[in-house]
């Protein structure tokens, strides 16, 4: 009996397809039925208030979802302490649905030491130890995950994970919203450069796997929007390097050579009045910004666009509170 089968899981209808796939049921892949999943946007605004995240988890628990992905675990204004990280881990584990974390910039990028020096790399390492220590999601309904860390060369990148439901491959990729953590100061971008290499390899593995399986779609979850290009005024000579430029080219290239859909789902840009959720398609490549709150997305093979978004009320409930 494998590790997944040996765990006692609650009976949830949306789990049946997941369990079949975890057991290696090829027939389930060939005959994908409708299923829905939830995405919790970066719901933190300021202070140490985890109520929006707690409410979003409660609301997604009440729905019959295959899994939930949460963008971020804390606000940038909250402390980067082990105590707070542990509190958020316990909250995530309280979910009934399988819950996967997609890291946000506020989780680690702005962290400081007591001497006001950057602690971003040390805190990222600590988050990796605390939140991504095994091959399963958070929550009662454990989703089996394949982490990039299974490759010895990239064993640090445990936050990059993929899983499969029906004939769709889902994956998280660490792309923080703050210009992909590219720092303009010279000689300070070793984390950025190393993660660029890891993310390149991770995308290659994802799309190779999807092509071999003839998957209907690849869905990527991240914090920043890698498909958005920087806009500059003419004769602006103080242009920062676009930290997403290379990864945007890689995603676009993979999508161009992939027969299915590619959907990139990312956090809000920080606007106080984000636009309603809408997938912007360019050929087979889609861009979806999740409004504050959470959004239900249904995979419907009968729909030519494959993905159907929940009603606006689904994603606006928390923003009205």
What would the mean pLDDT of 219-226 be, rounded to a whole number?
A: 97
pLDDT per residue as tens digits for the range 98-144: 999 999 999 999 999 999 999 999 999 999 999 999 999 999 999 99
Residue 6 has pLDDT above 60, yes or no: no
What would the mean pLDDT of 64-76 be, rounded to a whole number?
A: 95
pLDDT per residue as tens digits for the range 289-306: 998 789 999 999 999 999
What would the mean pLDDT of 20-42 be, rounded to a whole number?
A: 66
What would the mean pLDDT of 201-227 be, rounded to a whole number?
A: 97
- How far, in Å, are 41, 248, 289 from residue 99 at the CA level? 13, 26, 19
What would the mean pLDDT of 189-194 be, rounded to a whole number?
A: 94
Please give the residue that has the higher pLDDT: either 245 or 64: 245
Q: What pLDDT was estimated at residue 272?
A: 58
Mean residue pLDDT of the chain comes to 85
Least confident segment among 41-50, 189-198, 252-261, 298-307? 41-50
Please give the residue that has the higher pLDDT: either 55 or 13: 55
- End-to-end distance of the chain based on CA atoms, in angstroms? 46
């Amino acid at each position: 009996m494998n590790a997944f089968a040996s765990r006692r899981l609650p009976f949830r209808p949306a789990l049946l397809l997941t369990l079949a796939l975890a057991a290696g049921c090829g027939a389930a892949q060939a005959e994908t039925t409708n299923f829905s999943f939830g995405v919790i946007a970066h719901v933190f605004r300021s202070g140490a208030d985890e109520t929006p995240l707690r409410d979003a988890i409660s609301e997604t628990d009440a729905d019959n979802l295959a899994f939930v992905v949460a963008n971020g675990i804390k606000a940038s204004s909250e402390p980067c302490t082990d105590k707070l990280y542990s509190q958020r881990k316990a909250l995530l584990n309280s979910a009934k649905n399988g819950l996967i974390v997609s890291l946000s910039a506020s989780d680690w990028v702005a962290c400081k030491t007591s001497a006001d020096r950057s602690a971003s790399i040390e805190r990222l390492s600590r988050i990796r130890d605390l939140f991504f220590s095994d091959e399963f999601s958070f929550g009662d309904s454990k989703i089996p995950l394949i982490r990039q860390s299974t490759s010895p060369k990239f064993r640090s990148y445990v936050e990059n994970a993929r899983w499969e439901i029906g004939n769709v491959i889902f994956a998280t990729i660490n792309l923080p919203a703050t210009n992909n953590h590219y720092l303009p100061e010279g000689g300070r971008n070793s984390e950025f450069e190393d993660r660029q290499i890891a993310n390149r390899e991770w995308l290659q593995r994802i799309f190779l796997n999807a092509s071999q399986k003839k998957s209907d779609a690849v869905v990527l979850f991240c914090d920043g929007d890698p498909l958005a290009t920087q806009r500059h005024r003419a004769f602006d000579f103080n242009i920062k390097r676009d930290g997403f430029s290379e990864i945007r080219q890689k995603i676009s290239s993979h999508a161009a050579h992939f027969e299915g859909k590619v959907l990139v789902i990312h956090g809000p840009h920080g606007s106080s009045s984000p636009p309603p959720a809408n997938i912007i398609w360019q050929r087979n490549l889609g861009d979806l910004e999740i409004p504050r709150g959470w959004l239900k997305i249904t995979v419907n093979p009968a729909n030519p666009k494959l993905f159907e978004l929940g009603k606006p009320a689904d994603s606006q409930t928390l923003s009205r509170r």
